Structure 1
């Protein structure tokens, strides 16, 4: 059953107007008819099954059939701070990070960032938001991750209970426990921020600055990962600890 995200609270009946993207997809793309059902999620993460009760060229009326209880979000809110990368690799990263449960994606320019979107920045963010929305619907999440672009100094002050920076030098030195130790230290509802460097890596100066802002260096194993792959490795590892371990 397809899932849609709404921008208003769900009450007894939902009225979708023809100007809304949800109406367009439900009626014109999926060709729903009276009696068709779909899942709907509101901003409070309330999930319901709705049945198409009435349909015309101007609006669709949805009647709530039942409320569902699902636990699909990661118990800890993960903010991933990354540098934009070349070509369409940022698109791919956002899609996969959404599927893996990221809560917030912060794009920022670091010392060795080579991508500069310039006047295209707003257009890029709008594209990323659409990619995240589609991925959240497909993976049946209860929220769409927030995606923002901010300057590096602001990114360093992102709200967090624990902070990590993925650093290949930590892996080379044999450090391999910080990610898992931090994951197990966090309680449900807390926030973890993880920063990943650009394609050229992070400088020693940046690492020192990050440590001063509460980001501890963490290795991600012995292999060298691409800039867009490293965050997905970390999200998958965190999901293993939080979603699959007994007793969480």
Structure 2
């Protein structure tokens, strides 16, 4: 039987007993209906490690666990990858975030762009950010990552490109160049992806003026969510751990 991986933001240490925070306790006690004696893996997203634990008490309101041992892990990519994804309609944003975490992305920034059709007020945007953070947590629980990728606040494209730094910077462009030279060694990379309507020519020009490469990643026009995940896979294959 697979041992569930549970995220909790609490401090964790070996040979201690704790009550899980409300969200983790709800998931363990009410959703998974786990009972005393069952094993868990706990992680708090603070480092490349997790903790083996066993449930001492579990009901729908409270779950108490004994933390047995700390396990250091080594499944983070040597390439630090930052994906900046333009806000997209439907569940496209959620899909990009989930799969980007599985592919090893370290940082995600939602972008406002010229052709972005998503309309969200401050309250709804705050709810979206909480939802996306939850997706990051769930993806880490599923794929075995113990470090939580960073989710940045939504920012305008022009403001973002002026301040982001990396060894390799790509702005995806169906009219871009597929044959650009790249260094042999890259430790950090950033990708900017437009919405369904793509980035405007002016936005691509501004990005190139800030050191981005207008990158064509194939002969076919990809959907925004496909483009993001394809680009991450290419980066991981060339400089990461694929």
> Which TM-score band applies after superposition, normalised by the shorter structure?
0.7 to 0.9
1:155 is matched with 160
Residue 93 (structure 2) pairs with residue 95 (structure 1): no
TM-score, normalization: structure 2? 0.87
Residue 8 (structure 2) pairs with residue 11 (structure 1): no
Contact 1:163 1:192 (8 Å CA) reproduced = yes
1:50 is matched with 53
Contact 1:15 1:59 (8 Å CA) reproduced = no
Contact 1:73 1:101 (8 Å CA) reproduced = yes
Contact 1:16 1:22 (8 Å CA) reproduced = no
Contact 2:174 2:216 (8 Å CA) reproduced = yes
Determine which of 71, 80, 85 is the counterpart of 1:68: 71
Cα offsets for 1:128-150 (capped at 9, x unmatched): 11122111111111123222312
CA distance in 2, matches of 1:166, 1:111: 15
1:29 is matched with 31
> For 1:122-161, what aligned pairs fall within 5 Å after superposition?
122-147=126-151, 148-156=153-161, 157-161=163-167
- What secondary structure, in the 3-state scheme, does the structure 2 residue paired with 1:108 have? strand
Residue 241 (structure 2) pairs with residue 243 (structure 1): yes
- Measured after TM superposition, the shift of residue 55 of structure 1 is 4.1
Determine which of 153, 162, 172 is the counterpart of 1:166: 172
Determine which of 205, 208, 212 is the counterpart of 1:211: 208
- What secondary structure, in the 3-state scheme, does the structure 1 residue paired with 2:202 have? helix
Contact 2:30 2:59 (8 Å CA) reproduced = no
CA distance in 1, matches of 2:205, 2:160: 15
CA distance in 1, matches of 2:165, 2:68: 38
Note the residue ranges of structure 1 that are not aligned, 5 or more in a row: none
Contact 2:25 2:61 (8 Å CA) reproduced = no
2:186 is matched with 186
Determine which of 231, 234, 241 is the counterpart of 1:234: 231
Contact 1:10 1:46 (8 Å CA) reproduced = no
How many residue pairs end up in the alignment?
234
CA distance in 1, matches of 2:93, 2:104: 16
Cα offsets for 1:106-163 (capped at 9, x unmatched): 1111111122222421111111111221111111111232223122233111243332
TM-score, normalization: structure 1? 0.85
- Measured after TM superposition, the shift of residue 58 of structure 1 is 5.7
